[in-house]
Amino acid sequence: MSDCLFCKIIAGEIPSTKVYEDELTYAFRDINPMMPTHVLVVPRQHLTGLSAADEASDAVLAACLRACAKVAAQEGLTGGFRVVSNCGDDACQSVKHLHFHVLGGGKMTDKMG
């Protein structure tokens, strides 16, 4: 997607602070961190969000979640971490490329879910 911000970050056309990458995913620090550690894990393949995923996306989704856990370990989040994927307008998704927020590095005040 030529006009997608995260596709441009993955392609290196927009700079980012890389944290992790593999064949299917790319992870970088959020520009507006909500926690001491705030990393975005995105699939290299453009999917607008979780609602756009189907059976053909299973390998990509699994790779993203595995990447989240690897990022958490790499960042030393031994006390725990949270993974969030905002999907759609009600959830205030601002970038329409599937992404998982990996948050940690401190006690979170609100229990989600």
Residues that bind ligand DGP (CB under 6 A): 5, 14, 16, 28-32, 40, 86, 92-95
The answer to whether the beta carbons of residues 93 and 46 sit under 8 Å apart is no
Q: Which is nearer to ligand DGP, 36 or 55 (CB)?
A: 36
Q: Which is nearer to ligand DGP, 15 or 78 (CB)?
A: 15
Q: Which is nearer to ligand DGP, 13 or 55 (CB)?
A: 13
Closest distance of CB 4 from ligand DGP, Å: 11
Find where tokens 């989240």 sit: 68
Closest distance of CB 29 from ligand DGP, Å: 6
104 bridge partner residues: 37, 81
Find where tokens 């944290």 sit: 19
Q: How far is CA 45 from CA 7, 58, 74, 78, 109, in A?
A: 8, 12, 23, 30, 33
- Catalytically active residues are 99
